[in-house]
Structure 1
Amino acid sequence: MFIARVFRGVLAVVLLLSFVLIINECAVACSSKRTKDIPYIAPDAAGFDAERNRLDVYEPKKKGDVPYPVVVFIHGGGWDSGSKNIYGFIGRRLAKQGVVAVIINYRLAPAVEVPRMADDCARAVLWTQQHIAQYGGDPNRIFVMGHSAGGGLAALLAADNRFFSKLGVTQNPVKGAILDDPAGLDMFDYLNKMEYPDDQKYLVPFGKEPAVWRAMSALYHINAGSPPMLVFVGERTYPGIARSTRKFRDRLEELGVKHEFKLLPGKKHIPMVLQLFWKNNVIYRDLLQLVGATSAT
């Protein structure tokens, strides 16, 4: 009998919390408008992937006095999984706080390797620059953001102008980067060492050429002209991420690149992105300051 009462009590708490979360999510969603599954590459272009070469735009419903800053979010997933459809909560929370959010998909391994993934992300940013004004966004204030593998890709786009030069763009449109427990900042070192179980699996997305590992590592492309960076790392993240982010921070400091580096106590790798469900966390707070956002509500 006692156990039954405890179970009913726990169930009631769970149901109450679920109800509160649903109400909260509905309130957040009401302040934003989503346009989903927009192709950022012409559907008749060679190599177009009908699922992966698409993005969603989340814009504040309230029209701003001036165009809103823009954040392009790149999902993680070890370069072989993940979907924009999981991260709508980030788009909604950014829109509620006065930011136009662009949540993208990109092609994954084994269909393509990381260089093509970075090309996809650059094309999504270029689409954003060309079209985001239609959604209330400022094409001159585009920032990239990513978690895990997406963080590594975001850092690469901010640091290496060649991805945009290949598209005929003379100036990198990325004005800053927000990196949430980023992976892949120094895959050249990581894949040369092969210190951890199952590291061989990363040869699928990165290939077997060390020159490619280096070319796809943002650490080696940061320069004195790189845009501002926010780097957030979980205190209990994976050792490889902890080491590469410290090296990245040291390189930013050496070159004098404007940046913030914050270690979040007690956080593991996955919770570093899950905390973005809560709009008052430190990542959103610093992000809003970086992009110059003013609330849309």
Structure 2
Amino acid sequence: MKLFFRLLALPPLALLLAAVVLLAHEQAVASASRRVANVAYVAATAPDFDPQNHRLDIYQPKKAAAPRPVVLFIHGGSWNSGSKDNLLYRAIGRRLAKQGFVGVVISYRLSPQALVPAQADDCARALAWTVAHIKEYGGDPARIVLMGHSAGGGLAALLATGSDTLLAKHGLPRTAAHAVLLDDPAGLDMLTYLQKQEYEGDAQYLIPFTRDPAVWRQASALYHVRAGAPPYSIYIGGETYPSISSSGERFRQQLTQLGQPPKYTILPGKKHVGMVTQLFFESNELYAELKRLAQ
């Protein structure tokens, strides 16, 4: 984000030149990958099929190789906004492919049409589709790393440490995810968050999470942490929202108590939005961490 505002402050000619350089760079990144767009991960005959949101994009490296590790990316957006078609998420997909992954960037149904348990179910269905079909696109179904930012981080955590019924419902084993990277995850403990409602605007989350405390608990990964979970890497912005940093720390403690301490990294100075916009840059350390997790 800082780079964006610096660019805006440039004189018109310099700004034009910078835009040309960025465009050329983006085209070079895109040329190294192949995008297969709008693949349905829910059967069109399903009674709840959403033709807009039950879709995913696949980003493949153009260079042929042995089956590649896979990153399934779940976007954020406060559970009521966002799409795989966002230009930033497309850029992330292309960068994943350039790093040697098969990138799978998904959409899912949003609030108020779909509540968080249904959104988690959508993500589980997208994971099941990926396990079943990613070989056709050069990916290794045994090396799927789940990755999510913000609300997407909370959903990714639910898939990896959530109740076994969420996975078993779609024929997935507990080990469906090889590893997990949470990028400033939101919603890890909505039970505590909605019980307190200590911040202005918190009532808005009673729509996607309902007014039922049982749902708040069901949709919070913190209460489903179990032994045998896949390896976790958690990145928290040093200047993110207090609720994210505090719930992230409690999640770390839960995993540690089970003998599975995650790699836990606080990035100084990073705000919540900056934790995802940093992924525009190929040299970002989260890409290096994904490579480590995929081994």
TM over 0.5: yes
CA distance in 2, matches of 1:119, 1:172: 17
Decide whether aligned partners of structure 1 residues 8 and 25 sit closer, same or farther in structure 2, where only a CA change above 3 A counts.
closer
Return the index of the structure with the highest Cα Rg.
1
Unmatched segments (≥5 aa) in structure 2: 1-7
Provide the TM-score with structure 2 as the length reference: 0.94
Aligned to 2:40: 39
Aligned to 2:78: 78
Decide whether aligned partners of structure 1 residues 258 and 135 sit closer, same or farther in structure 2, where only a CA change above 3 A counts.
farther
Question: Which runs of structure 2 are paired with 1:32-111 in the superposition (5 Å)?
Answer: 32-64=33-65, 66-86=66-86, 87-111=89-113
* Secondary structure of the structure 2 residue equivalent to 1:85: coil
Q: Is the 8 A contact 2:252 2:261 kept in 1?
A: no
* Secondary structure of the structure 1 residue equivalent to 2:39: strand
Amino acid across the alignment from 2:223: Y
TM-superposed deviation, 1:221: 1.0
Aligned to 2:151: 149
* Secondary structure of the structure 2 residue equivalent to 1:146: strand
Among 229, 234, 238, the residue aligned to 1:231 = 234
Decide whether aligned partners of structure 1 residues 244 and 62 sit closer, same or farther in structure 2, where only a CA change above 3 A counts.
same
Answering whether residue 215 of structure 2 is matched by residue 212 of structure 1, we say: yes
- Number of equivalenced pairs: 285
CA distance in 2, matches of 1:104, 1:9: 35
Provide the TM-score with structure 1 as the length reference: 0.93
Q: Write the deviation string for residues 34-73 of structure 1: whole angstroms up to 9, x where unpaired.
A: 0000000011211100100000000110111x20001110
Amino acid across the alignment from 2:275: M
Question: Which runs of structure 2 are paired with 1:1-297 in the superposition (5 Å)?
Answer: 10-64=11-65, 66-86=66-86, 87-160=89-162, 161-292=164-295
CA distance in 2, matches of 1:26, 1:281: 19
CA distance in 2, matches of 1:145, 1:238: 20
Q: Write the deviation string for residues 191-237 of structure 1: whole angstroms up to 9, x where unpaired.
A: 01100011111010001111111111111111121100110011010
Amino acid across the alignment from 1:84: K
CA distance in 2, matches of 1:254, 1:23: 48
CA distance in 2, matches of 1:277, 1:27: 14
Q: Is the 8 A contact 1:70 1:138 kept in 2?
A: yes
Task: Tell which deviates more after alignment, 68-77 or 257-266.
Answer: 257-266
Task: Tell which deviates more after alignment, 217-226 or 122-131.
Answer: 217-226
* Secondary structure of the structure 1 residue equivalent to 2:178: strand
TM-superposed deviation, 1:176: 1.1
TM-superposed deviation, 1:167: 1.7
CA distance in 2, matches of 1:208, 1:8: 45
CA distance in 2, matches of 1:125, 1:13: 44
CA distance in 2, matches of 1:9, 1:162: 54
Q: Write the deviation string for residues 128-156 of structure 1: whole angstroms up to 9, x where unpaired.
A: 01110011000111111000000000011
TM-superposed deviation, 1:169: 3.0
Unmatched segments (≥5 aa) in structure 1: 1-6, 293-297
Aligned-residue RMSD, C-alpha: 1.4
Decide whether aligned partners of structure 1 residues 97 and 59 sit closer, same or farther in structure 2, where only a CA change above 3 A counts.
same
CA distance in 2, matches of 1:49, 1:159: 26
Decide whether aligned partners of structure 1 residues 9 and 215 sit closer, same or farther in structure 2, where only a CA change above 3 A counts.
closer
Amino acid across the alignment from 1:140: A
Aligned to 2:3: none
Q: Write the deviation string for residues 239-260 of structure 1: whole angstroms up to 9, x where unpaired.
A: 1111111111111211121521
TM-superposed deviation, 1:93: 0.4
| Segments of 4+ moved more than 4 angstroms | none
CA distance in 2, matches of 1:9, 1:106: 38
